């Protein structure tokens, strides 16, 4: 009897895992803005809805919107210039740019669908408009790359696989660990892809892309000598990013506009 229960459990687990892989394959599509094949299980409208729903919470976590309307307008102006001068204007996303009041946390991020944020802590360290364009361009790159939507789909996939493995045998923890490592690796790749796209957007909008190297130097200095090693971080090391940025600059400057 116990043997039969184990067989049924194993079969059920295999069915769940098979379903996860079939769903993953059927969700594969080519990103029209990057040419990258991705697993996406939501529409652009759903991405926009998620971003709009999450934006108030993000604002609250980072001190709300900065009270200086002039600074807010400046961030919006630079962000809109990047969008209007590039392929971003051809997307269905609704871009909005927000300066957050947090003066301690050096950060910038984008929610799916076009909600882009930068903290005052980072904004205040930037030396010129081109560096701000580099930061915002990088975040627009995340939206264009549909990185949040891809991450959501990947997370759902690995959760289903882990469930199937847990039902079939005591392997759920092992499979779950593989999934987490894959998400971490992809996240570093997303950062590099967004750097690349950000350089393209800067050039399209007439900004000096070399200033993005200055942004990396600012981030490197802010992290200090005890910054987290790359293998423990979701972000590539600033020195490695600088090398990739230099390559992107050379690539896009050679490409006819």
The answer to whether residue 1 is domain-embedded is no
Output the pLDDT for position 173.
Answer: 43
The answer to whether residue 27 is domain-embedded is no
Q: How much is the average pLDDT of 49-65?
A: 92
Give the total number of structural domains in the chain. Answer: 1
Q: Give the structural domain span for 113.
A: 39-254
Q: Which of 152, 51, 150, 57 is nearest to 110 (CA)?
A: 51
The owner of tokens 């081109």 is 130
Q: How far is CA 15 from the centre of its chain?
A: 32
- Cα angle, residue 41 at apex, residues 53 and 90 outer, rounded to 5°: 70
**Separation of alpha carbons 217 and 125, rounded Å:** 11
The answer to whether residue 69 is domain-embedded is yes
The answer to whether residue 18 is domain-embedded is no
The answer to whether residue 15 is domain-embedded is no
The answer to whether residue 25 is domain-embedded is no
pLDDT tens per residue, range 201-223: 999 999 999 999 999 999 888 87
**The pLDDT of residue 157 is above 50:** no
**Separation of alpha carbons 142 and 234, rounded Å:** 14
* Residues composing the chain: 257
């Amino acid at each position: 009897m116990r043997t039969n229960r184990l067989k049924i459990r194993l079969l059920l687990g295999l069915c769940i895992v098979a379903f996860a892989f079939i769903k993953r394959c059927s969700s594969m599509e080519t990103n029209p803005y990057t040419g990258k094949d991705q697993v996406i299980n939501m529409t652009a409208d759903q991405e926009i809805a998620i971003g709009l729903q999450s934006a108030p919470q993000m604002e609250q976590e980072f001190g709300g919107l900065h009270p200086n309307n002039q600074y807010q307008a400046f961030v919006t102006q630079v962000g809109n210039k990047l969008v209007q001068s590039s392929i971003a204007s051809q997307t269905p996303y609704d871009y909005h740019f927000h300066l957050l009041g947090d003066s301690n946390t050096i950060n910038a991020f984008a929610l799916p669908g076009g909600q882009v944020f930068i903290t005052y802590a980072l904004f205040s360290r930037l030396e010129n408009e081109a560096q701000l364009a580099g930061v915002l361009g990088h975040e627009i790159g995340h939206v264009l790359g549909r990185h949040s939507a891809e991450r959501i789909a990947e997370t759902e996939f690995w959760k289903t696989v882990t469930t199937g493995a847990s039902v079939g045998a005591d392997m759920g923890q092992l499979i779950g660990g593989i999934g987490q490592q894959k998400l971490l690796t992809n996240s570093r790749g997303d950062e590099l892809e967004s750097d690349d796209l950000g350089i393209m957007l800067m050039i399209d909008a007439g900004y000096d892309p070399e200033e993005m190297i200055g942004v990396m130097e600012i981030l490197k200095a802010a992290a200090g000598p005890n910054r987290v090693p790359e293998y423990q971080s979701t972000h590539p090391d600033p020195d490695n990013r600088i090398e990739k940025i230099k390559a992107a600059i050379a690539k896009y400057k050679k490409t006819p506009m």
